Homo-oligomer: A and B are copies of this chain.
Amino acid sequence: MTDFSINRLDTVDSDFERRLKSLLDWNEQDDFEIQKQVLDIIAAVKKSGDQAVIDYTNRFDRRSIQTANDLEISKESLKAAWDNLPSAQAEALDTAARRIRAYAEKQTMTSWQFSEEDGTLLGQKITPLDRVGLYVPGGKAAYPSSVLMNAIPAKVAGVPELIMVVPTPQGEINQLVLAAAYLAGVDRAFSIGGAQAVAALAYGTETVPAVCKIVGPGNIYVATAKKMVFGQVGIDMIAGPSEILIICDGHTDPDWIAMDLFSQAEHDENAQSILLSDSADYLDAVERSILKLLPEMERAEVIKASLSGRGALIKTANLDEAAEIANRIAPEHLELSVADPDSLCAKIRNAGAIFMGRYTAEALGDYCAGPNHVLPTSGTAKFSSPLGVYDFQKRSSLINCSEAGADTLGKTASILARGESLTAHARSAEYRIKS
């Protein structure tokens, strides 16, 4: 472990601001070569539909599909995957699904309306999206938990048709993913991936129906394609590397905190794990736990790279200062491993998900606590929210003016419209004023 060290910062250091800023810096450079490739793929799928999808799939996923029918994964395959799952895994997935659904149901928006004295009615009508596409990565990054987290809120929202796409390189299908799709209520599934799958969902082909919104994680080609089709369809956020920020008062078992930092760091080398504490001794203890536990970890190399490159143990003057740093960072995951998490939580404004108390490991939330694990990264929690049912619903404003209401409102609208020199607006309103 001589080749490993983790950044140590202290808020009283004169270079603290500079070092914190440089740790947080994350600029994914736009890769024009990738953008050009993706543009070409989207144009080809728009133009040639199924045939383009088949060609790219055969080429990129090393398959030999002949007809578009072979692109669909049958409902029976999904069910068979679920039926064949070992019972411990089936039970765990089912528990997770039930809890995710129960939490999601609390997020459901409902329509409302109210009447005014003159009989004018105002309201907001809530409807689910007509059809949604769910991208699921193939190969190593295929996470059944992600299928549940993306699919269940859409179905709770009432989306009638949920279409999953998942690449199956060389025909290899992840049975856990299919089982999770079955459990979550995915309506149709296609064994396609990459930018070609995103384009097919956005514009539709003879076989793949066009959707209103595409959600789910993917590699740089998928992320680039999603950005490019945005506007044609809605998309969820474009995720950056995963992050955890832990605030600890120095009284949680340091092994626990070390492992919580690892659980983020093991995702990938750019993942970010930061610990804030008001006790320098405690930071020392966690550093010792890190060095002790690291050799035991299966993904030790990834963890080492992540912790030494982007991780940090930061000494703060007190927990309030730690909370304020958390608000500046706006982390995806925030653990408050302290005796009184409620009062500390009251000071937090910016975070995707807040894990309160020593027993609430982020990993519990990643899988089965109930709240969504699709969360805003790279500081975007300052203005955005976890994926939720509300992302699969939309609002329409309702206005139904009574004759008397139109008379009153028409006078006001007329004055304002003439103030803006929009006389057709004014006259349209004035027609509804009683003569």
Chain A contact residues, CB within 8 Å of chain B:
88-89, 92-93, 95-96, 103, 106-107, 112, 114, 120-122, 124-125, 127, 129-130, 143-145, 176, 212-213, 231, 233-234, 238, 253, 255-256, 259-260, 262-263, 265-267, 297-299, 303, 327, 341, 345, 348-357, 359-372, 375, 378, 380-386, 388, 390, 394-403, 405-406, 409-413, 415-417, 419-429, 431-432
Contact = CB atoms under 8 A, between A and B. Distances in A.
A278 B399 CA distance: 23
A428 B359 contact: no
Given A259-B424, A368-B412, 11 more contacts: A96-B416, A121-B356, A122-B371, A263-B424, A352-B396, A353-B397, A355-B400, A359-B402, A364-B409, A369-B401, A384-B394
Contacts of A253: 431
A253 B427 CA distance: 14
Nearest to A293: B427
A399 B355 contact: yes
Contact of A424 (B299, B375, B411): B299
Contact of A399 (B255, B360, B396): B360
A431 B381 contact: no
Contacts of A299: 423-424
A190 B338 CA distance: 43
Contacts of A213: 383
Given A106-B112, A124-B107, A130-B382, A356 B398 contact: yes
A149 to B, nearest CB: 11
A11 to B, nearest CB: 20
B369 A416 contact: no
Given A114-B106, A424-B265, A432-B364, A369 B259 contact: no
A311 B367 CA distance: 51
B428 A384 contact: no
A308 to B, nearest CB: 16
A107 B109 CA distance: 10
Nearest to A303: B424
Nearest to A359: B406
Contacts of A88: 415
A326 to B, nearest CB: 11
A416 B147 CA distance: 13
Contact of A431 (B96, B255, B406, B420): B255
